[in-house]
Every structure is written in structure tokens, then in C-alpha cells.
Amino acid sequence: MCGIIGYVGSSGETLGTLLQGLSNLEYRGYDSAGVALAASPLTVYKKQGEVDALEDAIPNPAPEGHAGIGHTRWSTHGPPSDANAHPHTDCHDRVAVVHNGIIDNYQELRDELTASGHEFRSETDTEVVPHLIESFLDNGANPEEAFRSAIDRISGSYAIAAVFDETETVYAVRNQSPLVLGLGDDGTYLASDVPAFIEYTDRVVYLDDGEFARLERDEVVVTDSDGAAVEKSVETIDWDPEDAGKSGYRHYMLKEIHEQPHAVRQCLRGRVSERDESVLFEELPNLDADGPVHFVACGTSYHAALYGECLLQEQGTAAQSFVASEYDIDRIPVDEETLVIGVTQSGETADTLRALRGANRSGATTLAVTNVVASSAARECDDVVYIRAGPEISVAATKSFVGQQITLALVANALAGGSSPAFRRALRNLPDQIQRILDESAARSVATTFIGSDAYFFIGRNYHVPVALEGALKMKEITYEHAEGFAAGELKHGPLALVTRKTPVIALVTGDEPTATKILGNVSEVAARDAPVIAVTDSPGGVGQVADRVLVVPTTHPWLVPVLVNVQLQLLAYWTADELERPIDKPRNLAKSVTVE
């Protein structure tokens, strides 16, 4: 949620670089946008609505400067409006500030500043920052001193960047909200996420909590809270700039669904040996789970965690999944024997980071399963496994969820101490099987058939319960239609009261084990009440006799069937949303990366 971009470089490039960065950050979710140029005088443009509205509000020609900052805002304090949009300035427009996060003591600071004569123009917590900086400038501090002194006064979670009039410098700091620096040939960059500047440079430096950065045209200086220089390693991002584009697809989500065969191959690269038919995890040479395993995650990642829980429980491991915001180490027993696995696409999810930090304090071993190299979760956990899905732009997660599923299956295999030949063959065949679904799926036709339904119910058993939950989440996220997912056995304990001819039931029925027989009984229950049934199955001959429509998946290892089933549910949600003409990549009220608790 919210996005920051900063740039110091060529004067004629600043505005265009900032606007491009904001466009690249649109996937994070936002309701207004703005830029500030450190020209003489300091110039700010901001507008409620999308980046296009901001571009239309900027005069041509526009003032230019060597340094600037930009922001896409997702409202917390104050509704979307031009006044509440970032950047915010002081009384005399000498400094402009952008901010992600929440300032906990803003009301106290605002009251103090108002009493001393400062006039506020917005309802945001952010605006206290430029006024604090102004108060220190008025007392003789230089820009960097004023910036540091202001940060000393605030508490909360934040990533903050500032520019001053008649300067060529960007100042920044982070605390529990991500900031990454980019080192380019023609300038330096600052952003909340790498895609903001990926077309300009792949060399990055990640800030840690409490670190300050000063960006000049040809250097970046990182210091700690006391002003001492900090040596930072430079990472190289293995993403092609084209990965962040649509590549001819109508929506990022559809592109990312179709990238899943490649994402799975990337996830498996170097982890499934062709030579000795082994499954390797060189990143985790000493991984062990003699004690309990706790998964902590949010949203889609929580559904991946539930899937991992199922795999570990089958092997006799005491595994349990927790919604990260509910993981309270004062209530839940955690000690040195506990392995806590944080599942987070971005590696910056605030609730998941809080849970992992609590686990670290309790002496547990922590493992991050994430997509972003050197993210906060990756750096703070004892171990990390990357899912290697590449950049995911659409707010609704698709290829990152499949990457999490595969990675957790590999982790479960590692904890089990080995794998069967059938599992290894299934892993190698998986990318081609996903491609077959993408090529042959009837999901578009099914979606069109059931447009106008009152609700969609997704049911499954065992491994398929997490996928039913994820299928329902995808449906509600991008279609705005009501959808629920639950264990099929729970139908008769309440939800059956809602079943009508206008509530399609999507039943996940695979294999020929007893669970499949039981779910066929559940399908018969809803069919007897005239509810339409959509079966997702690898055995269309059986369930097809009672289902109205069938979506077929190839036969594979039981652990991996949920991966294939999930792809069909992604397509069903996508084509339903497309038929309803929803803004698929940017669903209302949602953000890609939730960096506040």
C-alpha cells in the first residue's frame, strides 16, 4: 500500500522518471498521486485519482530540477482528496515530504505545532513531518540536521523521503516500512519497491530499520541514527524490465497466470536433480522440525500456509497455521524447539513481520518463504527460501501463490527426509501440465454461463480446502461478487441454507480415495437442491454425471493436484471479472503490499 519514488540525476529527466516510477507502482493500490520537484522554487503537483489525472494537472512545460520525489497514496488519515494527497509541505513551501506508514503520535505533534503557529492544510498524519522539519530549519539547522531532528520526534511505522528547495538531494529514512535504493549510471533512485525503477538499474541497496539515506546525483550515503556511516552490500536484481510489462496481455493478472509454467520451472531450478533424481534444498542444509512448526501469513499467503500445514501433518509433524495478525507469543507457546515459517510474497507484510520478530525474540528458528530477495523477512529470519516467481504486478496474487505452493511442497519434502520417484516425476511434469490447462481450459465459457449468480461457493476436502479458500478469495477480490470457500463437510452445518439455483457450487473432486467419495456425496446434496455444480476434477467420468460443468486437470501426485486445481480457479475468477468489466489489476480498496498493521 502506498508507493514512494525518488530520483536525483539529470534535470530534464526528473519529472518523467518520477511519473514513470508512479505508474510502475500503481499495482500497490492508491487513491491519489503527487510529485515534488526541488526546483527554485520547490514545486508540488498532486491530484486525487490515478496517475493519469496527475499528469493532466501538470503544465507543459513544467519546472524541472535535479531532484524530486513522488507518491501514490492509499488513504488512512483523511479521505482521498487533492489536499490529503502527498507530497505535503511546510508553511513556506521550503520542504516537501512523502510518507508510507502511520505516525502514532501525530495528534500530539499536530497540537504542539498548531499552538506554535503552524497552519495545516490536510487531515493526514504525514503533514506533521514537514512542519517539524520547518521548526528546526527556523532554529538554524541545515536540511539534513532538520530532517534527522524531525524523525527523532516521531514514533510509528514509516518510510519517509524529503526534498528541499534549491537543493539537489533527497533525504530518506525507514522504520518498519520498506525502502530500496537504486544505483544507476545517470542518477540515484529511491523507492518502496524495485519495480519503480527497474528499467533504469538493477543494482540496489536495501535500507534497514533506523537507517537514513542521502541521495546525490553520483552517490548514496547510508548512515545510522547517530550519523555514523553504514557499509551496505549492493544486490543485483535478476529481473528483466520486460517482466514488469503486460507483454501484449490485456491485464497483468492474465499475463501472470500464463507465466506460471515458467515460474514453476524457476522455482524448481537447481532443486530437482536430473542426474540422481533427488530433490535438493541447498539453501536449507540444516533444516529440521523435531518440534512444532508454526506457519504465519496473511491473505493468499495464509492459504499457501494452510496447504503446507496439510503436507506436514500428513507426515506426522505437529504443524499449525496462524493468521499473522493473530499470532500472539504471549498466548501461543513458542520456544527454541519451534520452527516458525513466515509466508509472504513481498517479504514486507507488516503483520507477518511482527509475528516473525516475536518468534525470534522467543528463541524459535525462523524461516522466510518469500519472493523478494533481501526483503525484510529474508534478512531478519534465520533462513530464507525464495519462490522465484519474478515481479508480480496485479494486486490479486496468482503466480506467487503457485510459487509458494511448490516451495512449501519442497520444504515438506526436505523435512520428510526424502522423496519418492513419483513425486520427483510429478514435479518435472508440472510446468507442462499447467501449460495444458492454460491452453485447453473451459473456464471462460463456464464463467459466462454463470454471470448474474447471487454467490459462489467453493468446497474441497483435505489438500483442497486451502485451494477452495483461495478460489473464493480470488473471485471476491476481482469480481466484487460474494464468494465463500470452506471444507465440504461443513456444507450441512449451516451453508446449505444459502444454496439456491443462483449459487453455483465449485467442487474440487480429484483422485479415487475415500475423500473423493465423500465430496461426491456433498455434490449430490447441493445438486438435489437445484444448485448448479461446477466440478474441477481429474476424473470427469465420475463427477461429470452429477455436475453441470466440468473443468479438467491432469492426473498427478496428490501433493501437486491442488496446484493444478488452483490454476483453473484463477482462470474462472479472471474471466468472470472480465465479463463484468471490473478493474482486474487494481481492485477497489485493496493494496498489493500491506505494510501497516
For 202, residues 6+ apart whose C-beta sits below 8 A from its C-beta are 236, 237, 238, 239
Q: For the chain, what is the total number of helices (H) and then of strands (E)?
A: 17, 24
Nearest to 213 by CA among 150, 147, 141: 147
Active-site residue, 310 included: no
Q: Which of 56, 84, 61, 57 is nearest to 71 (CA)?
A: 84
Burial track 390-419 (b if 16+ CB lie within 10 A, e otherwise): bbbbbbbbbbbbbbbbbbbbbbbbbbbeeb
Q: Find residue 213's DSSP bridge partners.
A: 172, 222
Cell digits of residue 568: 483453473
Among residues 46, 399, 474, 592, the one annotated as catalytic is 592
Q: Is 120 exposed, middle or buried (0-12, 13-18, 19+ CB in 10 A)?
A: middle
Calpha distance 496→525 (Å, rounded): 9
Q: Which helix (H) or strand (E) holds 411?
A: helix 399-416
Output the CA–CA distances (angstroms, integers) from residue 169 to 164, 226, 326, in the order listed. 8, 20, 41
* CA distance linking residue 572 with residue 559, whole number of Å: 22
**Which among 125, 29, 131 has a CA at the least distance from the CA of 84?**
125
Radius of gyration of the chain (CA): 25
C-alpha to C-alpha distance for 244 and 424, rounded to whole angstroms: 31
* Overall size of the chain counted in residues: 597
Q: Please give the Cα distance from 312 to 581 (Å, whole number).
A: 40
Distances (CA, A) of 501 to 171, 278, 454, 474, 488: 60, 49, 9, 22, 18
Residue (of 89, 85, 106) closest to 97 by Cα position = 89
d(CA 582, CA 594): 22
What DSSP state is assigned to residue 63? P
Q: Which of 103, 87, 228 is nearest to 163 (CA)?
A: 87
312 in Cβ contact with 304 (< 8 Å): no
456-460 and 505-509 beta bridge pairing: parallel
Known active-site residue 298: no
Q: Which of 2, 298, 310, 381 is catalytic?
A: 2
H/E segment holding residue 339: strand 339-344
Any idea which residues carry the catalytic annotation?
A: 2, 592
